[in-house]
Amino acid sequence: MTDTDVIIVGGGPSGSTAARRLAQAGISVTLLDKAVFPRQKPCAGAIRNEVSAALDFDISGVIQRKISGLAIVSPSGIRVDCIPEDRSKPGHTIMREDFDHLLLKKAEEAGAVVQEQCKVVEVSQDSAGVTVKTEDGREIRGRFLVGADGINSIVAKQLGFYERWSSDSAMVAIEIEAEVGAEKVHEICRDPTGYDADIFFLYFGDVPHGYTWCFPKKMHLSLGICCRQDKAKNIRAAYQRWYERFADEHQIEPKIVSDSAARFPVRPSPTLMRGRTLLVGDAAGFVDSFTGEGIPYAIRSGIAAAEALTRAVEKNDTRGLQRYVELCKKNILKDLKVSDSMAKMFYKSTKNMETLCRFFRDDSYASYLIAASIGGLLPMGTVKRKLTLRMLRKRPRDAISLVR
């Protein structure tokens, strides 16, 4: 006897998306989350256009700012604006408490049973189904399980997907929400071409293998730093130095609305499916190691999991789940691999970061390619190929120096 076809642990973007799609397909689905929504989630809150395009409902009510591009600032302070002329696919910024709450409500609206304040403490699976135990002593039985429970996934650990993220496969981040008022936000982040939108900033050179950022929200700025965990020894001091410089440059004395630290994984789990269980989103390690974006992959993996699980439930056959692995290879892992090789090259040294930023500054097509990849106008693989060829042709010496 099962209580539900699919149990999903975690109601972030990956779990909510999977739950909505499954419910829409007529599959009974129960989603459990330890938090009460709207819940806080440390995040810079930038989403590419593909995120709103992939969701089958309007998210305009939770959008903070429209984003037309980005500016990168090199270790020596050179600013390069990367703004595509094609305005058809703007990105956005959101607050995670609003965005995630909306996604969860949309899952519930589609028919998913959502249980908040429901911490899962034990999971197991056998040949007939899966069992989930909650902190308050409940036991729920289902036919299939989805681990959408983020970087510290209890599903992944207890079912033998992996033990932990090694320090070179996770990033550490500090993020503050600094209230400066709408006008100041726009003054700092306005699109320099005069288009009615804002841009975000990535600063390189303050930390090894990472960056600091400034992302515009309605009334405040998300100001943060992230770097690979094995390089993060001095991250707090590096952040403080950068923050003081930033505040001084822009003459701000913000009210700090929140100050938090968190980690995210940057290496896909070696296994995505075991028995009757799938991992999605951060639990599966689906975050871009170059940019730190995980929301697009959380959504893509939620959609892929729902597609595979719908088949598996209908046929009552775990072999249907293999489809999930195939979809991930095609729609997620290929992109993440390309990003990872770009990250390895870019973050290898301060010298490499400087060389590449200067190349983007001097070559408008190269800066367009960066904008197009972040904006989702071009696939990462295409961007990497074009950038490599262009650099080899225009700056052969620099290209060689990057790999030395």
Element (DSSP H or E) covering residue 18: helix 13-24
- CA–CA separation, 120 and 261 (whole Å): 23
Instruction: Give the binding range for ligand FAD (CB under 6 A) out of 45-53, 185-193, 238-246, 345-353.
Output: 45-53
Under the criterion CB under 6 A, does residue 177 sit at the interface with ligand FAD? Answer: no
- Minimum CB separation from ligand FAD for residue 106, in Å? 14
Under the criterion CB under 6 A, does residue 45 sit at the interface with ligand FAD? Answer: yes
Under the criterion CB under 6 A, does residue 12 sit at the interface with ligand FAD? Answer: yes
By CB under 6 A, the count of residues binding ligand FAD is 39
Q: Which is nearer to ligand FAD, 298 or 387 (CB)?
A: 298
Residue 317's φ and ψ, nearest 5 degrees, are -145, 120
Under the criterion CB under 6 A, does residue 287 sit at the interface with ligand FAD? Answer: yes
Asked if residues 260 and 174 have their Cβ atoms less than 8 Å apart, the reply is: yes
Place of tokens 């997620």: 332
Q: Considering only CA atoms, which of 223, 269, 218 is closest in space to residue 63?
A: 218
Q: Considering only CA atoms, which of 240, 218, 270 is closest in space to residue 62?
A: 218
Asked if residues 301 and 280 have their Cβ atoms less than 8 Å apart, the reply is: yes
- CA–CA separation, 313 and 277 (whole Å): 12
Q: Considering only CA atoms, which of 402, 268, 390 is closest in space to residue 338?
A: 268
Selected binder of ligand FAD within 18, 46, 63, 402 (CB under 6 A): 46
Number of C-beta neighbours around residue 117 at 10 A: 13
Q: Binding string, 289-308, against ligand FAD, x = CB under 6 A?
A: ---xxxxx-x----------
- Minimum CB separation from ligand FAD for residue 48, in Å? 7
Under the criterion CB under 6 A, does residue 149 sit at the interface with ligand FAD? Answer: yes
Under the criterion CB under 6 A, does residue 35 sit at the interface with ligand FAD? Answer: yes
Which residues, in sequence order, are CB contacts of 34 under 8 Å at separation 6+? 117, 118, 119, 120, 135
Q: Binding string, 212-231, against ligand FAD, x = CB under 6 A?
A: ------------x-------
Under the criterion CB under 6 A, does residue 141 sit at the interface with ligand FAD? Answer: no
Which residues within the stretch 246-285 sit at the binding site for ligand FAD (CB under 6 A)?
Answer: 262, 264, 281-283
Interacting residues toward ligand FAD by CB under 6 A: 9-15, 32-35, 41-47, 119-120, 148-150, 154, 173, 175, 224, 262, 264, 281-283, 287, 292-296, 298
